[in-house]
Amino acid sequence: MVFTRAEGIRVFDENGKGYIEGLAGLWCAGLGFSETRLIEAANRQFLELPYYHTFFGRAANVTARLADRVVDIAPEGLTRVFFACSGSEAIDTAIKMVWYYNNARGRPGKKKIISRRNAYHGVTVAGASLTRLPVNQEGFDLPIARFLQVECPHHYRFAKDGESEKAFSARLAAELEALILAEGPDTVAAFFAEPVQGAGGIIPPPRGYFDLIQPILKKYDILFVADEVICGFARTGNMFGSDTYGLKPDLMTMAKGLSAGYQPISAVALTEEVFGGIAELGDEKGSFGHGFTYGGHPVAAAVALEAQNLYHERDIVGHVRRVGAHFQNRLRDFADHDLVGEARGVGLLGALELVADKKTKAKFPPELALGQRILDLTQARGLLFRPAGDTLLFCPPLIVEEADIDEIFDIVGAALDEILRSKII
Ligand SMILES: Cc1ncc(COP(=O)(O)O)c(C=O)c1O
């Protein structure tokens, strides 16, 4: 498909057909596709200072202002910000910072990094070593050494028969602690987690999960890195997923919603403690030898700053809470549908996991490509979303109204019913 223009929450293909972008592009265009304030902010910045970098103790004023703004809205304790250009770069930066910090603190053996099955943390060599989706690792000789995996926190798929959410969380926490002890706590540096697993299937944490995980990380002096690339900037009904789930990360990665997708920019926020270690070793070595030519690009920073102004002026968090309630109600109504095993989500994130048998949770044969077939049907009716296998993922622009949400789920309902009526399943 080739797209030529956009308006609000819709994109238009080269034949002029319009589609609601039910995934906000790639989980990022929260302010829709025609926000003139963002475009004007870019234009103004192009005229004032179209390029500068963030090396040698220098930066554009707008980049410094954005850093201050990120610190203002970030969870407590995150006081320093580093800019890059993509989520993957932010993740690789966070990994390198963790390693550098442990070297600074005289713990050169404490380097292993843990992530979770079905995690998505990008596709660079280290990021894809944290990402735990087979398609991003197989054939690439990944993961590289020192990357460890624990279980996905998806209760519907991975809980034992009759196991409550709390019991499931306790089992996963025990598994994490057992892995840390088996590897040796002195060798484990960090645990990376998306507050809600995104590309892996929109999987909100089960009850009690992070409350049990965080003390274990503290106990063994393991840094907690929250990957807010999808959850950040109001998506879950708070500014960050960390606010929604009570996370106290040592480092936090952001991208996508930072600039509402209009410019490539990402960030890592860190605590004074982690920053202090990095700064000390950096001074010893002459500088912190890491950074990107376009990191903190002034035009991207100006657009990101304006996006933050718009989120604030329009109380986008309040809006997501209001329309998110309707979104979750409409989504969860599908739990009774014959094809749906689980309807789950939070805020303006939602997934419908399709199953062949609701009782056994058996999946449809992959060759049926049911998720893709449903996308074909919704596409014909003017809705784009993302199928992950037979799980339908929805993450509409944050500016959707209730009528848009009704349109999205009316189209999804019509497509699911058409599949039921057809003889293909
Ligand atoms: C949670 C998460 N982390 C990292 C990334 C990587 O971001 P990028 O594609 O900008 O490299 C993504 C991308 O979808 C993501 O969802």
In the chain, what percentage of residues exceed pLDDT 90? 99
Contact 234, 55 (CB under 8 A): no
Tell how strand 386-388 and strand 383-384 pair up: unpaired
Taking a C-beta distance cutoff of 8 angstroms, is the pair 295, 122 a contact?
no
Mean pLDDT across 197-201: 98
Ligand 1 atom closest to Cα of residue 27:
14
The verdict on the CB of residue 342 being under 6 Å from ligand 1 is no
For ligand 1, atom 4, name the residue with the nearest CA. 121
Give the pLDDT confidence of 327-380 residue by residue, as tens digits. Answer: 999 999 999 999 999 999 999 999 999 999 999 999 999 999 999 999 999 999
Instruction: Give pTM, 2 decimals.
Output: 0.98
Of the pLDDT bands very low, low, confident and very high (cuts 50, 70, 90), residue 168 is very high
Is the beta carbon of 319 within 6 A of some atom in ligand 1?
no
- DSSP track, 368-407: G-HHHHHHHHHHHTTEE-EEETTEEEE---TT--HHHHHH
Q: Quick check: CB of 194 below 6 Å from ligand 1?
A: yes
Q: What is the mean pLDDT of the chain?
A: 98
> How far does residue 127's CA lie from ligand 1's centre (Å)?
9
Check pLDDT > 90 for residue 423.
no
Buried b (16+ CB within 10 A) or exposed e, 60-93: bebbebbbebbeebbbeebebbbbbbbbbbbbbb
Q: Could you tell me the pLDDT band of residue 263, with boundaries at 50, 70 and 90?
A: very high
Nearest atom (ligand 1) to Cα of 122: 6
> What is the residue with the minimal CA distance to atom 7 of ligand 1?
87
Could you report the per-residue pLDDT of 13-36, keeping only the tens digit for each?
999 999 999 999 999 999 999 999
The protein residue whose alpha carbon is closest to atom 1 in ligand 1 is 229
